[in-house]
Structure 1
Amino acid sequence: MVKEAAEKKLYDAASKGDLETLKQLLQQDPYLAHEAPFAFSRNLLHIGITHGQVSIVEEVLKMNPRLARILDSQKLSPLHIAVEEGKLEIAKRLLSVAPETCWWRDGHDMNPVHVAAMDGNVEILEELLRLDLYPAMERVRRGQTVLHLCVKHRQLRALNVLVEKLGELVCAKDDDGETILHLAVRCNQLEMIRYLVQRTKLDKEMTNSTGKTALDILKESPRDPITYPEIRKILNSLSDRSKLLGILPKMTDITMVVVVLIATMAFQSILQPPGGVWQDDTPSHKAGEAVMAYTHPKMYKHFVNANTTAFVSSLITIMLITTGLPLEHFFFLAVATTAMWLSLTSLAVGYGASVIMTTPNEEQTLGYIVPAVVCVFLSFILLLILYHSINGLQSSWKRKSRYEYKRMQHLIAV
């Protein structure tokens, strides 16, 4: 009875923050710090954390720091409890004593980072990530990431913090092949979808294990009259944008080599124009001036204009690629692509002007060269659009076929 009374006093002192009483009781019986049998097999440290008593936690850890590594009957470490309760200062103290508990998993297979994300404790989450990013990369049941937990529990602020730290996890799929966008659509979370579309590099056309995109999932979901139209609008715009991006070429190292070569050729052709330059000074011309500027002045003017356009548009493309502008955004990609095509077109026009100026008895004029070049490029663009349209239809048909095949397998199994 005496021991039970002491344990009751100890519990009251720890839960109320009565540090003096706690010290007196522990001086009388030091073993009470870790032997007192509280509910769920918790010790004195667990009680102090649950009630947010920082002074009690510090005193207990000073007496016995090993208590920071003791789990209760639910496999909760003291750090798990501090995170669940949202006790930032206590979490910092525990991390300084037992940082390895950031990796430990509770009875639900979640470490403290998962718990902080799920509960939306952003300040604690940032503190945990400051110590170590790798626990955040651990997956929970069904292969879900910490980002999936944020979406499932509607924790947009926590998701924002994690995306900034762990951008590579955005495209991760769970055991069902679903990304966080699939899950956000399935859970009908408009704000989460809007954030993922605007702020992440997530591939919006990714399919899950049944071959469905986020838009496919939306079409099969119950239609909320408030959120459904807005979500559909966002996903439809993404689908159209993805098709446009598929038509435009990707800005790669090969593109950089091409535009640098065009800029070099344009610069060199001004220094060494077709027909060469005058070698001596006369009353009619000076040394170093282009011969064609006097023999074919009108054509030479077209040549210089085309050459200058090729040079400047190449520089624009080089600038967009090398300065790290977000070329995955449609606007910047369209500008870079247009500049690249313009430089190629201008190079072709300059070539035509050079042919006219250097070929004797040639009947053709630039009025024939320009339409020919434009026709060739327009034909190329139309073929490119046609190819991607056919390819998109084939991909859609394949996804539908896979879905029907799996559905039939499921029906047969049932």
Structure 2
Amino acid sequence: MKEMNMDRRVYEAAINGDVRALRELLQEDKLILDRVTLNCFQETPLHIAVMRGHVEFAGELLRRNSQLAAELDSRNSSPLHMAAVRGDLEMVKLLLSANTEMCLAGDRDGRNPLHLAAMKGRVEAVKELLRVQPAAVRQRTGSGKETVLHLCVKHNQIEALKTLMASVEGEIIDEIINATDSDGNTIFHFAVSNKQIEIIKHLLSNSQIAVNSTNENGYTALDVLAHGLQKDMKDFEIGEMLRGAGALRAKEISGTTHHQPKTTTTTNNNHQNPAGDWLSRKRDSIMVVASLIATMAFQAGVNPPGGVWQEDSLSPDSAHKAGEAVMAYNHAKVYRYFIRTNTTAFVASLSTILLLISGLPFRRRLFLWGLMVIMWLTVTTIALSYGVAIFIITPKQYRSQLGNVVQISVTVWSCVMGLLLFGNTVRLIFRWIEKKKGNIVSWPEKKARTANSVFTNV
């Protein structure tokens, strides 16, 4: 009973950081720390002191029993693991002075203190752990087999990533910068998948990054971007960065290896197959635009301008049910126009997405031209939906001015779309005639790179 009371007093002293109480307990029983360690299956007093940030108390414990630095709790975490997570630099230095080997100790998930510090973005702790034990950067986590760089990217810790890449050089950086996890993904795959633009830029600034490395699914980073489910405007920027760095789709790599020798993964291959490259970029652009328009049209359809009625009304003048569109009652005729244009945009964009994911061989420019015509219709109808919506939510005293602006905008837009349709149709007819005459076999390289389209610079 007395021993249990003494143990409890040690833990209370650790919680409060009471060095004086600890010394008094040690005067009463010099073996109390050894006894507590033997009987403890959770956190030791040193774990508690680290969690509470009591550096002086932790120093007193280590001075009396340095073996406490190597004790693990039920999660296989050492005091150094906890100090690294907290980013307590003074505590990290204290624990390292007691036992540097704990830098290499893994918790139950196989993560060492450097891994945890990187995941939390504790840059100063990362620097100190690297300085004392550089070998810790080579270690991987348990089942995931992730490196410390994987963890930085996975948890979006760009400063920790920069620190690690700047501190580690030579063979070690060669070993880990293109290392793969259990699924064959490099840190570049992770960054592109999570659309972490700043991290992607930083990785591309390093000449050692393999931009065309493939994972176990056979996907390059550009494939990962193309197969992403949620499309947004970041996809355009990331796609341009990757193409500028020489990134290719896996099918493009396999298509070029039969005709020419292998090149390094960082070589810019944009001009090896200009026609195929143009078609691939065109498909990706159309998919992103179609996804965005489908999202906008869906939101506008379920939440029309003016909102929906919040409650039922039995009034003879304005009978309605909760959830029905306010516009349908107050502007019935205009609401019909809005629904028609918005639904057309929604269905056209969904049709485009369905065609692109159907697996049909859209490798001919005629098919891509047809898809672009559908997208022109989609963009036009979503623009008309916008015009109707703005007209409805504008107060009556300003509608006359707005009406003129909308009419002019619609007229200009229709003229532009008409010219584009006419120009591309004429070009397609001329190309078909020339091909029939046998004058050309394929598009000239220059035209393939500069093909004019409403989506070329999206």
Task: Calculate the TM-score normalised by the size of structure 2.
Answer: 0.51
Cα distance in 1 between the residues matched to 2:205 and 2:230 = 23
Which residue does the alignment assign to 1:30? 30
Matched, 1:151 2:153: yes
Query: Residues 245-287 of structure 1: CA distance to partner in whole angstroms, max 9, x if unpaired?
Result: x9xx99xxxxxxxxxxxxxxxxxxxxxxxxxxxxxxxxxxxxx
Which residue does the alignment assign to 2:374? none
Say which of 190, 201, 206 aligns to 1:194. Answer: 201
Cα distance in 1 between the residues matched to 2:247 and 2:12 = 64
Q: How much does 1:59 deviate? A: 0.6
Q: How much does 1:241 deviate? A: 10
Cα distance in 1 between the residues matched to 2:214 and 2:248 = 17
* Shift in CA distance, 240/200, structure 1 to aligned 2, threshold 3 Å: closer
Asked if 2 retains the 8 angstrom alpha-carbon contact of 1:19 and 1:56, the reply is: yes
Cα distance in 2 between the residues matched to 1:68 and 1:88 = 16
Q: How much does 1:202 deviate? A: 0.6
Higher radius of gyration, 1 or 2: 1
* Shift in CA distance, 8/88, structure 1 to aligned 2, threshold 3 Å: same
Say which of 201, 212, 228 aligns to 1:221. Answer: 228
Which residue does the alignment assign to 2:107? 106
More helix by share: 1
Which residue does the alignment assign to 2:58? 57
Q: How much does 1:53 deviate? A: 0.5
Which residue does the alignment assign to 1:309? none
Q: Report 1:76-91 matches (<5 A).
A: 76-91=77-92
Matched, 1:129 2:136: no
* Shift in CA distance, 4/143, structure 1 to aligned 2, threshold 3 Å: closer
Asked if 2 retains the 8 angstrom alpha-carbon contact of 1:42 and 1:72, the reply is: yes
Cα distance in 1 between the residues matched to 2:91 and 2:34 = 18
Asked if 2 retains the 8 angstrom alpha-carbon contact of 1:144 and 1:173, the reply is: yes
Cα distance in 1 between the residues matched to 2:149 and 2:107 = 18
* Shift in CA distance, 119/39, structure 1 to aligned 2, threshold 3 Å: farther
Q: Report 1:9-408 matches (<5 A).
A: 9-36=9-36, 41-140=42-141, 141-166=143-168, 167-168=173-174, 169-239=176-246, 388-389=272-273
Q: How much does 1:228 deviate? A: 2.2
Say which SS state the counterpart of residue 209 (structure 2) adopts.
coil
| 1:188 maps to amino acid | K
Q: How much does 1:54 deviate? A: 0.7
Structure 1 unaligned regions, length at least 5: 251-327, 331-383, 397-414
Q: How much does 1:19 deviate? A: 1.2
Cα distance in 2 between the residues matched to 1:128 and 1:240 = 35
| 1:12 maps to amino acid | E
Say which SS state the counterpart of residue 211 (structure 2) adopts.
coil
Q: How much does 1:4 deviate? A: 4.1
Cα distance in 2 between the residues matched to 1:224 and 1:40 = 49
Say which SS state the counterpart of residue 188 (structure 2) adopts.
helix
Say which SS state the counterpart of residue 36 (structure 1) adopts.
helix
* Shift in CA distance, 205/93, structure 1 to aligned 2, threshold 3 Å: same
* Shift in CA distance, 89/107, structure 1 to aligned 2, threshold 3 Å: same
| 2:30 maps to amino acid | P
Q: How much does 1:182 deviate? A: 0.6
Stretches of 4+ aligned residues off by more than 6 angstroms: 240-243
Q: How much does 1:40 deviate? A: 5.2
Q: Which moved more, 1:149-158 or 1:196-205?
A: 196-205
| 2:32 maps to amino acid | L
Cα distance in 2 between the residues matched to 1:113 and 1:142 = 16
Query: For this pair of structures, how many residues does the alignment match?
Result: 262
Asked if 2 retains the 8 angstrom alpha-carbon contact of 1:33 and 1:43, the reply is: no
Cα distance in 2 between the residues matched to 1:35 and 1:81 = 23
| 1:180 maps to amino acid | I
Asked if 1 retains the 8 angstrom alpha-carbon contact of 2:195 and 2:234, the reply is: yes
Q: How much does 1:5 deviate? A: 4.0
Which residue does the alignment assign to 1:354? none
Task: Calculate the TM-score normalised by the size of structure 1.
Answer: 0.56
Cα distance in 2 between the residues matched to 1:106 and 1:143 = 14
| 2:53 maps to amino acid | G
